[in-house]
Chains A and B, each alone.
Chain A
């Protein structure tokens, strides 16, 4: 019998850098546990459709050199933090100065706070399902620790710009931990961008811990170039009446994987998860989401849409797990897909596990093509066919984009999606 491939030891030889001792210890511990981690294969259920895109060659093992002073890169409208190859660049950042809100670089934490954090990192994620997040914990060299005290309100969105600068081949491990106190509020916009043209791996993890009544909006934009392999995980735990409003927008690449795991742990916790992914050429995008209804009286609302053109491949896997005690759960999940070419592939799979009897749970998944009648209507008004196709494709996802509550992001994303889709129809 052939033994399953394991993570190359080259990935586990990186130095811990300037991290405080408790985080160094956590890293080392994770590194050890990973030493013989089997890599996902076609037989690994949650990597079934994507393992063929996962190429962890040894040249990706080295950390990308960090610390260049780059600007925010994208238009931002709010506070911003620039993280260059995993390391915070204070000169390029604009931190909020708001009562009750601390935003600190991992390397700047005192030992007590670092210990507090080390005790919590990875707690929001089901590590068996998110193998690659463990690699992040074994490898991060810095990170962003965001702490909102009770009732603290961040008045403007915080943009965190993760720039992967791939001048050479290598990998980078962005990390954020948000500890949102009772009734606190913030909007966090994560933007993953890249420069340089060498092959690189971005393995990013963001975690949210929301205390009672906390209200967090998270926008996650995956905008990296064709040379970047991106594996991301977002985990969130919500206590009573806390709310997570998540908007993930992603453009395809050689490997794009995002796991989103939300645990509703006390009554009244609720989340809205919106996602849009677009792929063309031979690109890939794989969204795996899990919503754990642990406590009764929680609501979840999930809407994901994919558009796949050319010979690209989009995947959506949505798991809803309603625990035995989670009576009066209300869960809605919808995944709609638009195929722009017969060569494209879309795999969509809802997974419902319901152990409580008094719940409302609805789900639907469709794969379709552009509506010929609508297309005829548009071109019969003299509108160019390519433009009409673009209008209709944008219409398919616009409803979700319009729900992004940050105008600057909405506009940037709309313009980029429009360009992307226009391209997809070029020569078609």
Chain B
């Protein structure tokens, strides 16, 4: 489904990703772990098409098509979804209006009729329940004044509504209390299907207890330095990153 080949990316002329190779097949769950500043969010942003990051080398193919040639909105319509590490607050745009506009954009792209305000409201209310958010959150500005955990649940809410093919979750587990972690994990598990792949960025093994990954990768200094099965996460939890020849705080060297 997704092939990343020798991906290099830079921001403000500073190289952050230094040759990433990754294959993701439908139905698979991949976890990416790694020290702060190693490039995990950069990889997520590049996949979603954030223009602040410049791809300097390599390819990304989605079902054989060159993803890098597509605008962010086209990628989204082709099924790429990024749950942001720091979801953006947009006062003045109601969450409901935002969600409905997004869902209808997706539906039109898929050849379906737009949902009426009433039908969408019904769907949105059901889905807020699924992520344990009060429907009152639909009326508020997008993420406006949401707590950290509420923002993360709002991201999962969007994933559930938009039904992506590849969901990239950038630290959707961080800042969650134990109950919220369970809610988010249930949401992600509800997304799992044979046609859909999930790429999870996380620092913690505890999420992986709820959402069992097929593969775990360690990203350090802009490269994947090790890949393995779920047992790799346990090992990392126990031993840290040191045994891989990197320090816990290993960052891409300053440019």
Contacts and interface: CB of A to CB of B under 8 A. Distances in A.
Interface of A: 372-374, 376-385, 387-388, 391-392, 394-396, 398-399
B105 interface: yes
Given A381-B98, A382-B76, A383-B73, A394 B87 contact: no
Nearest to A377: B88
A266 B113 CA distance: 59
Contacts of A383: 73, 98, 101-102, 105
B84 interface: yes
B90 A381 contact: no
Interface residues of B, number: 31
Given A381-B162, A382-B105, A385-B71, A391 B76 contact: no
A395 B93 contact: yes
Nearest 5 interchain pairs by C-beta: A395-B92, A382-B76, A381-B102, A377-B88, A379-B73
Contacts of B82: 380
Given A376-B50, A387-B101, A382 B92 contact: no
Contact of B73 (A372, A385, A399): A385
B48 A380 contact: yes
Given A378-B102, A383-B105, A396-B92, 17 more contacts: A373-B88, A376-B50, A376-B72, A377-B84, A379-B72, A380-B72, A381-B76, A381-B158, A382-B76, A382-B106, A383-B98, A384-B73, A387-B101, A388-B73, A392-B90, A395-B93, A398-B92
The prevalent SS among residues of A at the interface is helix
Contacts of B141: 395
B109 interface: yes
B77 interface: yes
B92 A380 contact: no
B97 interface: yes
B127 to A, nearest CB: 14
Question: Considering residues A372, A373, A385, A387, which has the most beta carbons from chain B within 10 angstroms of its beta carbon?
Answer: A373
Most buried by B among A372, A373, A374, A382: A382
A395 B98 CA distance: 11
Contacts of B76: 379-382
Contacts of A372: 52
27 contacts: A374-B88, A374-B90, A376-B50, A376-B51, A376-B88, A377-B84, A379-B72, A379-B76, A380-B48, A381-B81, A382-B73, A382-B77, A382-B105, A382-B109, A383-B73, A383-B101, A383-B105, A384-B105, A391-B97, A392-B92, A392-B93, A395-B90, A395-B91, A395-B92, A395-B93, A398-B92, A399-B92
Nearest to A393: B92
Interface in B84-137: 84, 87-88, 90-93, 97-98, 101-102, 105-106, 109
B38 to A, nearest CB: 22
Contacts of A392: 90, 92-93
A363 to B, nearest CB: 21
Contacts of B49: 380
Nearest to B80: A380
Nearest to A391: B93
A25 B82 CA distance: 72
A394 B84 CA distance: 24
A384 B98 CA distance: 12
Nearest to A382: B76
Nearest to B143: A377
**Counting chain B CB atoms within 10 Å of each CB, which of A378, A381, A392, A395 scores highest?**
A381
Contacts of A398: 92
A388 B105 CA distance: 11
A146 B102 CA distance: 48
Contacts of A377: 84, 87-88, 90, 142
Contact of A382 (B50, B52, B142, B162): B162
A376 to B, nearest CB: 6
A380 B91 CA distance: 18
Nearest to A397: B92
Nearest to A402: B92
A399 B92 CA distance: 6
A374 B162 CA distance: 18
A405 B91 CA distance: 20
Contacts of A396: 92
Interface string B203-243: 00000000000000000000000000000000000000000
Contacts of B52: 372
Nearest to B109: A382
A391 B101 contact: yes
Nearest to B102: A381
Contacts of A379: 71-73, 76
A380 B102 CA distance: 9
Contacts of B87: 377
